[in-house]
Structure 1
Amino acid sequence: MRLRKGKRRQADDRAGADLRPQPPAGPPGLAVELRGVRRQYGRGAGTVHALAGVDLALPRGTFTAVMGPSGSGKSTFLQCAAGLDRPSAGSVRLGGTEITGMKENELTELRRSRLGFVFQAFNLLPSLTVEQNVLLPMRLAGRRQDRGRAAEVLAQVGLADKARRRPGELSGGQQQRVAVARALVTDPDVIFADEPTGALDTGTAAEVLGLLRHAVDTLGATVVMVTHDPAAAAWADRVLFLADGAFADHLERGTAEQIAARMTALTGRTRAMAGAGTGAGVAA
């Protein structure tokens, strides 16, 4: 993937100066940087503090899993980090570009050209072929649809012979492989994965997670994955644990058993605080 950075940046230059990466204000080589990010909904007594001041710096070429009890702010974190939702306060930088103050059309272009997404529900268009689904981010970004690049990423996910098929002709695991190929096709700064194995059986989930791990180790990708599954999180370099809208713990290269134990302890502490009346209202 890194060998194609020049081509992507040339395309970004043609798209306009607004999308050109600016020199990062923080440490170099960061793919994701959040500083003092807060997100609240509502006002007064009904205010929900979904994120309560998140600070995070993720280097390029890393695989990070984010976990937390129900209502801890995982989904809100992913949405703010990926530019799908705007924080109430704080700063978000992706690939060195400050996105917090971007206009909506600028954010849309950035998401299409420089971010990849993998969702639990696959989100493939049933009327399009596998190849057309993979090329969709290029099409939406107004870029030339590179069929050679589509063939390359489909081969990387083991679907070189499925380009002419439609999603309905594939298994759930194969459809998620298509989604991974679609996320890789633009050589993005970051791939955001939201419960990517939630709809898959254990064996198929391991195959998909292996693809994300391979993308990091071999292709230089950066992956940020929200998951509730300790076995899935164990594929990551680092697991971050959210509680009440803030990061409360982390674990480097943990096993599924170690991650599950941390989650159990964190959930117990969160329930105890809520029972004592000290827990703040948060969103999922």
Structure 2
Amino acid sequence: MFRSASAPPPPGDCAVELRGVRRTYGRGGSAVHALRGVDVRFARGTFTAVMGPSGSGKSTFLQCAAGLDRPTAGTVWLGGEEITGLGENRLTELRRSRVGFVFQSFNLLPSLTVLQNVLLPRRLAGLRPDRRRAAELLARVGLGEYERRRPAELSGGQQQRVALARALVTEPEVIFADEPTGALDSRTAGEVLALLRGTVDEFGATVVMVTHDPVAASYAHRVLFLADGLLAGQLDGPTPAAVADRMVALAPSAGAVS
């Protein structure tokens, strides 16, 4: 798969939306305002990178958008359903069936085979273990012959490919990726990013990715910039140089959380 230079698809139904989202940690004079009122929409079938200086609130942003953390104020919507006020059981069920995750640390279970790791989200969601689909996804990420291997037998790049196949196995409405190439060398990172972009271009997936790397961000349709817990701009059709220039212009702030 190669990066496409085509423009993002026209806005359709919204995959994820944040309305006036605030997240505060602590109280009184020691309170830290990680997000200060964020309004943003992610159209279906788009790839968005989220960037900002250390402490800008980008990790908190991702956690709130994915339903892993609850906003102090504001609402989060997934596919037209507000998830902010859902009970923990329903929220867990929703994450397992409608959301995919890719993390920097891979988070594969060492005791399971590659195929079993890919199938795990379906088992947790109470869905039938579709071995055929899992095998097809592994073949798409170039690991069709590794089904019986354990994670320890794979390189970092191969483990991240397994993590991507695992994220896709439930056919999620949106994939959240948190620094997915942070532990990889530049060549392997490019291969993983091309696969992520391919899930959008070929499968119509929606991807929201936090990254610190301008090259990684250039695989996205657009880049959102955060500073001091607020949206500080957007760049469509990003190039590494343009992203780097924007990042230089964003001064880091003290006292925030990432």
TM-score bracket relative to the smaller structure: over 0.9
Alignment partner, residue 7 of structure 2: none
Alignment partner, residue 12 of structure 1: none
Alignment partner, residue 9 of structure 1: none
Which of residues 215, 221, 231 in structure 1 aligns to 2:205?
A: 221
Letter in 2 for 1:89: A
**Alpha-carbon deviation of 1:170?**
0.5
Which of residues 45, 69, 74 in structure 1 aligns to 2:29?
A: 45
Which of residues 97, 101, 106 in structure 2 aligns to 1:117?
A: 101
**Alpha-carbon deviation of 1:143?**
1.1
Q: Does 1:282 align with 2:248?
A: no
**Alpha-carbon deviation of 1:200?**
0.1
Q: How many residues in Structure 1 have an aligned counterpart in Structure 2?
A: 248
**Alpha-carbon deviation of 1:244?**
0.4
Alignment partner, residue 201 of structure 1: 185
Aligned-partner Cα distance in 2 for 1:58–1:67: 15
Letter in 2 for 1:224: V
Aligned-partner Cα distance in 2 for 1:116–1:255: 26
Letter in 1 for 2:256: V
Higher helix share: 1
Give the alignment of 1:96-107 within 5 angstroms: 96-107=80-91
Aligned-partner Cα distance in 1 for 2:91–2:196: 24
Alignment partner, residue 23 of structure 1: none
Alignment partner, residue 127 of structure 1: 111
Aligned-partner Cα distance in 2 for 1:170–1:254: 32
Which of residues 143, 156, 160 in structure 2 aligns to 1:176?
A: 160
Aligned-partner Cα distance in 1 for 2:197–2:34: 29
Alignment partner, residue 90 of structure 1: 74
Alignment partner, residue 263 of structure 1: 247
Do the aligned residues in 2 keep the contact of 1:51 with 1:282 (CA within 8 Å)? no
Letter in 1 for 2:128: R
Return 5+ residue gaps in structure 2 as ranges. Answer: 1-10
Give per-residue Cα distances to partners, 1:117-150, cap 9 Å, x unaligned.
Answer: 0000000000000000000000111111000110
Give the alignment of 1:20-169 within 5 angstroms: 29-169=13-153
Do the aligned residues in 2 keep the contact of 1:31 with 1:96 (CA within 8 Å)? yes
Give per-residue Cα distances to partners, 1:35-90, cap 9 Å, x unaligned.
Answer: 00000011110010000000001100000000000000011000000000000000
Letter in 2 for 1:176: Q
- TM score, norm. by length of structure 1: 0.86
Aligned-partner Cα distance in 2 for 1:44–1:211: 45
SS at match of 2:39: strand
Structure 1's consecutive aligned runs of 4 or more residues displaced over 3 angstroms after TM superposition are none
Aligned-partner Cα distance in 2 for 1:96–1:203: 38
SS at match of 1:108: helix
SS at match of 1:65: strand
Report sequence identity in percent.
Answer: 73
Do the aligned residues in 1 keep the contact of 2:224 with 2:235 (CA within 8 Å)? yes
Letter in 1 for 2:248: T
Return 5+ residue gaps in structure 1 as ranges. Answer: 1-26, 275-280
SS at match of 1:182: helix
Letter in 2 for 1:136: L
Do the aligned residues in 1 keep the contact of 2:12 with 2:44 (CA within 8 Å)? no
Greater RCO (CA < 8 Å, at least 6 residues apart):
2
Q: Which has the larger radius of gyration?
A: 1
**Alpha-carbon deviation of 1:97?**
1.4
Aligned-partner Cα distance in 2 for 1:96–1:163: 36
Aligned-partner Cα distance in 2 for 1:182–1:217: 18
**Alpha-carbon deviation of 1:28?**
5.7
